């Protein structure tokens, strides 16, 4: 089951560094929800990346 994580845009522009930071934060929270168990960093990153690009319409 995929859960959506809300990430505030706070009016920030969609420059690559800000997008990367949002993805990093979202991936961290996904890992935290799992209790930091397992070796799922790549999965967490890819899931966060998909969520951020979908929410911000940056496509990738």
Is the per-residue pLDDT at 59 higher than 90?
Answer: no
Range 9-14, long-range pairs (CB < 8 A, 24+ positions) = 9/55, 9/56, 14/56, 14/58
Q: Where are the domains of the chain?
A: 16-56
Q: pTM score > 0.85 for this model?
A: no
Cα dihedral value 47, 45, 43, 36, nearest 10? -110
Is the per-residue pLDDT at 25 higher than 90?
Answer: yes
Residue pLDDT, tens place only, 26-56: 999 999 999 999 899 999 999 999 999 888 7
Residue 35 DSSP label: T
Q: CA separation (Å) from 44 to 7, 56, 58?
A: 15, 18, 19
């Amino acid at each position: 089951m995929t859960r959506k994580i809300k990430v505030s845009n706070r009016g920030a522009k969609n420059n690559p560094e800000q997008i990367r930071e949002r993805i990093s934060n979202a991936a961290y929270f996904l890992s935290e929800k799992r209790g930091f168990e397992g070796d799922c960093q790549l999965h967490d990153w890819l899931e966060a990346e998909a969520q951020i690009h979908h929410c911000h319409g940056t496509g990738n």
